[in-house]
Amino acid sequence: MVLTHEPALFYALAALLGACFGSFSNVLIHRLPRNLSIVRPRSACPACARPVEWHENIPVLSWLALRGRCRGCAAPIALRYLLVELGGVACALVGVWSFGFGFAGLSASLLLLLLLDIALIDWEHMIIPHTLTIAGAVIGLGGSFLDGRDPASAFLGAAVGAGGVLAVSWGYRLVRGVVGMGGGDVMLMGMVGSFLGPWGVLGTLFGGALAGTAYALLAGRGRVVGGAKLPFGTFLAAAAAVVLLFGPRLAAWYLGLAA
Ligand SMILES: [Zn+2]
């Protein structure tokens, strides 16, 4: 992680780009799990079907200007739309702040954004769309040739991520499924590996299992409910973001404990 101190204009541009990606994320989060096209039709108010004009579709600002209500019928526009747009801004700023204004910062920002979308979709629908994970893996593998990572580690990470989760899911099934993992998780970890390499896969699985188990215990009031479905992808996505931003420091701390 390289902290960068570039002119404010650079951050403003990154924030703007992040807001646009966040706005597109709202489309992805709504339409992908419902198997709807992400290009057509144009966005419309779900209450009155009034199409959203271009000037009502400006990330963050439009929601605030409209005070979260449709201009046609005054039906409320979910706060989540604003929050996801702000989430896009946060992903872009954290990415470039941590990895600089170059391909490395771009890769980090895109990974954070993909993880945000996947976390929200899996939480709500218990689905991880292959469209996102495959596109993500292509970006992760292709980006490794541009952003200073080792391409061999990216390809190995993708293989270890997808293959590892397949093995783990068979293992869990043997111990009567505390945390079930499906094809979506396999593809998600392939994508994570393409960005974070084989060690990142290990850290993400460890962190995701820890967070998922803690959540299952809390939600089940102290006992893990067998067969209860858990949006495991959400926990994996959160863990992958932590590994991206703090991986080396956490590994050093953990190894220090063991020594
Ligand atoms: Zn309306």
SS (H, E, C) 45-59: CCCCCCECCHHHCCC
- For ligand 1, the distance from its centroid to the CA atom of residue 74, given in whole angstroms, is 6
- For ligand 1, the distance from its centroid to the CA atom of residue 71, given in whole angstroms, is 6
Residue range 219-234: mean pLDDT, rounded? 68
- For ligand 1, the distance from its centroid to the CA atom of residue 89, given in whole angstroms, is 26
Report pLDDT digits (tens) over 147-178: 999 999 999 999 999 998 888 778 877 776 55
Q: What share of the chain is helix, strand, coil (3-state, %, to 5)?
A: 70, 0, 30
- pLDDT band for position 4 (50/70/90)? low
Number of H helices, E strands in the chain: 8, 0
φ, ψ at 16 (rounded to 5°): -65, -50
- pLDDT band for position 2 (50/70/90)? low
R_g of the chain computed on alpha carbons: 19
- For ligand 1, the distance from its centroid to the CA atom of residue 127, given in whole angstroms, is 28
Q: What is the pLDDT of residue 225?
A: 52
Give yes or no for a contact between 41 and 103, defined as CB atoms under 8 angstroms apart.
no
pTM over 0.85: yes
Provide the mean pLDDT of the chain: 89
Distance CA 111, CA 192 (A): 8
- For ligand 1, the distance from its centroid to the CA atom of residue 70, given in whole angstroms, is 5
- For ligand 1, the distance from its centroid to the CA atom of residue 177, given in whole angstroms, is 44
- For ligand 1, the distance from its centroid to the CA atom of residue 118, given in whole angstroms, is 28
- For ligand 1, the distance from its centroid to the CA atom of residue 62, given in whole angstroms, is 14
Listed by start position, the domains of the chain span 1-101, 124-259
> Is the pLDDT score of 224 beyond 70?
no
Residue range 175-184: mean pLDDT, rounded? 68
Residue range 126-152: mean pLDDT, rounded? 95
Q: What is the pLDDT of residue 42?
A: 85
Burial of 17 (0-12, 13-18, 19+ CB in 10 A): middle
Q: What is the pLDDT of residue 177?
A: 59
Distance CA 152, CA 156 (A): 6
Report pLDDT digits (tens) over 199-212: 999 999 999 989 98
